[in-house]
Amino acid sequence: MKRKAVVLLLGGEEGAGFGAAAGAFFQPLLGRPLGAYALEAVCGIDPEAVLVLAGAGPAVRDGWESLIKGVETKTPVFLLAGEGRRAGVFPALVTARAILEKYPDRDILAVPAGLPLLRSQTLKALLRVHASKDCALTFLGGGGEAGLTGILALRSADAFPLLRGISPSRGAAGFEALALRLTKAGKKVGFYEYPDPEDVLAVENGEDFGLAAGLLRGRKNRSLARKGVIFLDPASAWVDWEAEVGPRTVVYPSVVIEGPSRVGADSRIYPHVHIMNSQLGAKVKVLSSTVMEDCVLEDDAQVGPFSRFRPKTRICAGAKVGNFVEMKNTVFGPRSKAQHLSYLGDSQVEEDVNVGAGTITCNYDGVAKYPTHIGAGAFIGSGTELVAPVKVGRGAYVAAGSTITKDVSAGALAVARARQVEKPGWVLERVRQRKKAGRGRKP
């Protein structure tokens, strides 16, 4: 009968891999905490339970609680806060022995949490070898010069009785003592070298962190490419682990897509675009050097280049927003256009509106923010200032260069600018007077 497995995930104060600070587990790596990858991998083998051996302190406890909640799994995950104070796998195993002994005759899998490239298939392979060779203890090797990985499987019924009397401070020597005791007791000790050392790369410093990020980026981009996404330069595109991109979408070089963003099918994301926590529909175009955060772009929308969309902005279907336009907390209606050099903040813009170049919603008076509402089919001339709170009615026209401080009725023309005054010959007369004054001066 196949034994059930219990995982001891080592996320203590020492040892992201084998020595980094506990805070390393919570550092974002391709949009999610570093420790979430190993936790997801161990949950993927469908164990009876996962015990997270964390370090002491409220910050570590809170960090792990948040990290655990962020991983979708049906596996029971228990946090043993304040337990993981000693570095190394053997001391951690001894520390957690009293809890692990509550799971008699189980395969105990010890896994360091600082292995972001670890996959479930690696752990399943270890457990298969462990079971097929009927071992009491099996070490996982990383291949080549990598040596031992810190991952091991042991049979609780065989190993735990023999742990007594071995000091936790012995570290690797403790495993040597345990292996010797098992061998003398007629039990098998095995070693399994996994063929892909990338899976067991331990993150211990900044160099490891960057290497792991690049390898994860490659995995993510290859996964999307298999689903039909077209990367013109996969080596320069960064797509977070939780982000999704639809089939036949073309991603140009130097694109960054962060957080749980979604990009629909048949879209084009041009160079140097930065998308954060945003939802993009199908057949959208995001032209070069556009930045957006917490925004929505509906189907067939086109934005950029050099546009910025701040949180709570929605660009509706078929709308176009162009060069050097900024929006914040704004709904920009279907088929509406704002093609040049404008700012719309706290605004509701209905369908088929044209916003001329240089239009500004003056939404802030130094104390509070106020809304602007532009009705369907309205035309806002270039260089207009809309001093909020203000409403422009359906089909209304606002003349270029106007400063609008009062509501504009539907279908009306609003002109709000100073009357132009012209003085013929003023420049020549002014020059003549200056020359005359200059001749009368003494050196």
Residues identified as active-site: 340
For residues 55 and 21, give the distance between their C-alpha atoms in angstroms, rounded to a whole number.
Answer: 10
For residue 349 the two structure tokens come to 């813009």
Q: How far apart are the first and last CA of the chain?
A: 113
Q: Which residue has the tokens 């009491």?
A: 136
The 3-state secondary structure of 128-170 reads HHHHHCCEEEEEEECCHHHCEEEEEEEEHHHHHHHHCCCCHHH
The 3-state secondary structure of 34-64 reads HHHHHHHHHHCCCCCEEEEEECCCHHHHHHH
Residue 19: how many other CB atoms lie within 10 Å:
14
SS3 409: coil
For residues 412 and 214, give the distance between their C-alpha atoms in angstroms, rounded to a whole number.
Answer: 58
| AA letter at 410 | A
Phi, psi for residue 234 in degrees, rounded to 5: -60, -25
For residues 23 and 61, give the distance between their C-alpha atoms in angstroms, rounded to a whole number.
Answer: 11
For residues 120 and 130, give the distance between their C-alpha atoms in angstroms, rounded to a whole number.
Answer: 15
CB 29 within 8 A of CB 131: no
Residue 389: asked if its preceding bond is cis (omega within 30°), the reply is yes
Kindly give the residue spans of alpha helices, DSSP state H, lying in 96-253: 97-100, 120-132, 156-163, 172-184, 206-226
Q: What share of the chain is helix, strand, coil (3-state, %, to 5)?
A: 25, 30, 45
CB 341 within 8 A of CB 327: no
Sign of CA dihedral 16, 109, 216, 244: negative
